[in-house]
Structure 1
Amino acid sequence: MRQYEDTYQHKGMRRRLVNELKEKGITDERVLDAINTVPRHFFLDSAFDKIAYEDRAFPIGEGQTISQPYTVAYQTQLLQIKKLDKVLEIGTGSVYQATILAELGAWVYTIERQKKLYEKNKQFLFKSKYPNLKFFYGDGFEGLQPYAPFDKIIITAAAPFIPPKLVAQLKVGGYMVIPVDEGENQRMLRLEKLADGTLREEAFEQFSFVPMLTGKND
């Protein structure tokens, strides 16, 4: 079984990463503190240990990636997480994004459609630190109706459209952060659900995500 160690060297690399994120425009100190606290190398194969804190994505299997730290920080900052927020995450992947949200004090309900990743994540020892992190195997387009409504929803894959079932599961006044569009790049949107059920849309930078797919992959 892999032994998880967080050395002074790892902590130093995290501090450098945080400074790099500041230079790139991340301003939310709570988000930066969470990035500085959570050991990203725990979420990667040990072969990536020396480069785990480079600001780039890495493969994690099943055609998926652990997102670039800047992307994680950017989406998290847009969500404006408050302690005890109930957050739905679509696309568990490596669990890194979900753990950042849990470190911020949110109750995180995260869905993964890849059965192998879901099973692997259930065995992840580090998650025992975060009882506020709940794992589900399912179709992200369906959301988690039994646990709705959610204060915040984050989608960590490129959505071809805004999924109506997720909008229905968002609280009035809540935010959804979602990269939308097919193709190489997506627009990062923040949607606020208004009292009449419509959405107020804000568009931000462009990013590149793996596509959000329907169904489950056994």
Structure 2
Amino acid sequence: MKRTWLLLLLLAFLGLRGGWFPAAGLCQDGMDVMEERRLAMVAEQIEARGVSAPRVLEAMRRAERHLFVPDSQVPFAYDDRPLPIGHGQTISQPYIVALMTELIRPQPPFKVLEIGAGSGYQAAVLAELVEEVYTVEIIAPLAKWAEARLAAAGYENVMVKQADGYYGWEEHAPFDAVVVTAATPHIPPPLIEQLKDGGRMIIPVGSRFRVQQLVLVEKEKGELTTRNMLPVRFVPFTRGDDAGVR
């Protein structure tokens, strides 16, 4: 009897908090609670900070961030912060995902290259907005994770490749836009070459121990222009030897 009362108290506590039951894959009140949190995230963390493109805001409302984090992080999926996804990597803060997406000005016919698939969340947001997404992840378990999560979420227009993202994905170039989700000391030349004329790239530039800048790169008639958008902190760009890739 005592155990029963303890269990009921625990369930009541979880219910008040919109608790999550990983084994069932559902929150206490079904998807309604997660949807409510997602809508609040967009309104309070993203739109309130100046991201205004209607299609980007709608994509952020539709892409279910809680599907792209480990079970232990699901209760925090719509918090205003990055979250760990294992292997020393993180899923970016929702505002940064939205801002980077808005800055490339995605259009329905676009073909977009993402470097650093991570958990697959940024690719999911892009997939809501463009025709094709090609995402490269150097860490094999994360590449498998992202591919499985994207497929389970119903995204059929995302292709995942396990490889060194420094070299992009040449066979599918050129790309209308490139999104890089790890900080690199310089912009990799192959990514510049694979960016279509008139295209945009968003990339964090800098080292792990210094202030990084989120840089917008525009390519016009073969010439590049760059603009520092804001200081950021991303995980470092991993190369082949660092990830055990040869």
Please classify the TM superposition score into its range, dividing by the shorter chain length.
over 0.9
**After superposition, where does 1:130-169 map in structure 2 within 5 Å?**
130-169=155-194
Question: 2:118 aligns to what?
Answer: 93
Gaps of 5+ in 2: 1-21
Is the 8 Å Cα contact of residues 127 and 133 (structure 1) preserved in structure 2? no
Whose RCO is larger (CA < 8 A, sep 6+)?
A: 1
Once the two structures are overlaid, the 10-residue window that deviates more, 165-174 or 122-131, is 122-131
What secondary structure, in the 3-state scheme, does the structure 1 residue paired with 2:165 have? coil
1:127 and 1:103, CA in 2 relative to 1: closer, same or farther beyond 3 A? Answer: farther
Using the alignment, how far apart are the partners of 1:72 and 1:60 within structure 2? Answer: 16
Question: 1:57 aligns to what?
Answer: 82
Is the 8 Å Cα contact of residues 111 and 130 (structure 2) preserved in structure 1? no
**Residue 11 of structure 1 pairs with residue 46 of structure 2:** no
Q: Which amino acid is the alignment partner of residue 159 of structure 1? A: T
Matched positions, count: 217
Question: 2:211 aligns to what?
Answer: 185
Using the alignment, how far apart are the partners of 2:168 and 2:23 within structure 1? Answer: 33
Using the alignment, how far apart are the partners of 1:138 and 1:132 within structure 2? Answer: 19
> Deviation digits for residues 142-187 of structure 1, max 9, x if unmatched?
1111111111001000011011111011110000111111134311
Identity of aligned residues (%): 40
**After superposition, where does 1:39-50 map in structure 2 within 5 Å?**
39-50=64-75
What secondary structure, in the 3-state scheme, does the structure 2 residue paired with 1:129 have? coil
> Deviation digits for residues 110-153 of structure 1, max 9, x if unmatched?
00000111122233264461111000011111111111111100
Gaps of 5+ in 1: none
For normalisation by structure 2, the TM-score amounts to: 0.83
Structure with greater Cα Rg = 2
Residue of structure 1 aligned with 2:49, choices 11, 21, 24: 24
Looking at secondary structure, tell me which structure has more helix per residue. 2
For normalisation by structure 1, the TM-score amounts to: 0.94
**Residue 106 of structure 1 pairs with residue 131 of structure 2:** yes
